[in-house]
Structure 1
Amino acid sequence: MLEQFIAENPVHTEISVAWGEMDALQHVNNVVYFKYFETARIDFFNQINLLGDLQTTQVGPILSDNHARYKRPVTFPDTLLVSVKISDIKADRFMMNYTVFSKTQAAATTLGSSQVVMFNFKTGKKATLSPELIDVLRSYEETANE
């Protein structure tokens, strides 16, 4: 199962579950998954150098929407792989889709998505994605059949 997940999700981030992420019900608290998504998202942004020009251009990504669907509880100790795939690329936005895979359970535990909007911090308005960024995002785009 792990090998299949990695083969189908080459862009992923490995995250160790911390003891303090569990709640009174003895599983990872639902809010923590948004931190996992953020870690995978920033890793992906760094991989494609999306944040590289932020200081000079003042244009960068913000979130307009964030979702999680919990399929199975996760407990400490565990190591998770959080995959990233891209969909719904528009002129000023794109969707990031996440799958959280538990090594201990050898199964997907959580699905998520984030709507990423390009934003000009100078003007306070949306910005368009550059043609170069669109090309890079398309190389990570998941197909409708997946």
Structure 2
Amino acid sequence: MLEQFIAQNPVHTEITVAWGEMDALQHVNNVVYFKYFETARIDFFSQINLLGDLKITQVGPVLSDNHARYKRPVTFPDTLLVSVKISDIKADRFMMNYTVFSKAQEAVTTLGSSQVVMFNFKTGKKATLTPELLDALKTYKEVKAE
């Protein structure tokens, strides 16, 4: 299962579940998954150098929407792989889709998505995707099964 997940999700981040991330019901608290998504998102942004010019251009990504769908509970100890795929690319936004895979369970535990909007922090308005960013995103675009 693990090898199949990695083959189908080459862009992923490995995250070790911490004891303190569990709640009173002895599974990872639902809000922690948004931190996992954030870690995978920042790793992805680093891979495509999205944050590299932020200080110079004052244009960068912000989230306008965030979702999680919990399929199976995760408990400590475990190591998760959080994959990132891109879909719904528009002139000023794109969707990031996350799949969380548990090594201990050898199963997908959580699905998620974030709407990312490019934002110009100087003007306080949306910004369009640069041609370089558009090319990078298309490289990681999710292929939908027909």
Q: If the length of structure 1 is used for normalisation, what is the TM-score?
A: 0.99
State how 1:1-146 maps to structure 2 within 5 Å: 1-145=1-145
1:38-73 Cα offsets, whole Å, 9 max, x none, are 000000000000000000000000000000000000
Distance in 2, Cα, partners of 1:70 & 1:124: 34
Distance in 2, Cα, partners of 1:86 & 1:122: 27
Distance in 2, Cα, partners of 1:145 & 1:119: 31
Residue 94 of structure 1, CA deviation: 0.2
Distance in 2, Cα, partners of 1:30 & 1:102: 15
Over the residues paired in the alignment, what is the CA RMSD in angstroms? Answer: 0.7
Where 2:26 maps in the other structure, the secondary structure is coil
Residue 143 of structure 1, CA deviation: 1.2
1:98-119 Cα offsets, whole Å, 9 max, x none, are 0000000000000000000000
How many equivalent residue pairs? Answer: 146
Unaligned runs of 5+ in 2: none
Residue 144 of structure 1, CA deviation: 1.7
Matched residue type, 2:16: S
Distance in 2, Cα, partners of 1:9 & 1:144: 14
Distance in 2, Cα, partners of 1:71 & 1:144: 21
Distance in 2, Cα, partners of 1:44 & 1:56: 20
Give structure 1 regions of 4+ aligned residues with deviation exceeding 2 angstroms: none
Where 2:141 maps in the other structure, the secondary structure is coil
Percent identity over paired residues: 88
Distance in 1, Cα, partners of 2:12 & 2:50: 17
Residue 132 of structure 1, CA deviation: 1.1
Q: If the length of structure 2 is used for normalisation, what is the TM-score?
A: 0.99
Distance in 1, Cα, partners of 2:143 & 2:10: 15
